[in-house]
Amino acid sequence: MLTLQFIPYIDIEVLGSPERVEKLLKVVKENKIILLEGKLRPREEADLIRRTMEEINDNFKGIEISPINVHRKEDLAFFRKVKSVLINFLLGDRQGLTIIGPATVVKEIKADPDKIQLLTEDGSHKKKR
Partner 1 sequence: MINVFKKFLNLFFKDLFLEKGEVKLGLYGPPNGGKTTLANKICVDWIGEEMGRASKVAHETREVQIKEQITIKRDSKELTFSLVDTPGIATKIDYEEFLKAGMKEVEAKSRAKEATKGVIDAIKWLDDMDCVIVVLDGTKDPYTQVNITIIGNLEARKIPVLLVANKMDLKKSDIKHVQAAFPQYEVIGISAKTGEGVDVFYEKLFELRSKAFKNKRR
- Does residue 96 touch partner 1 according to CB under 8 A? no
Between 62 and 71, whose beta carbon lies closer to partner 1?
Answer: 62
- Does residue 123 touch partner 1 according to CB under 8 A? no
Determine the Cα–Cα distance for residues 49 and 39; give it in Å rounded to an integer: 14
Between 10 and 50, whose beta carbon lies closer to partner 1?
Answer: 50
- Does residue 54 touch partner 1 according to CB under 8 A? yes
- Exposed e or buried b for every residue in 18-28, given b needs 16+ CB within 10 A? eebbeebbebb
41, 80, 83, 126: residue in contact with partner 1 (rule CB under 8 A): 41
Cross-sheet strand order for the sheet of 125-128: 106-111, 116-120, 125-128
- Does residue 56 touch partner 1 according to CB under 8 A? yes
Determine the Cα–Cα distance for residues 8 and 44; give it in Å rounded to an integer: 17
Binding site for partner 1 (CB under 8 A): 41-43, 45-46, 49-50, 52-54, 56, 58, 61-67, 74, 103
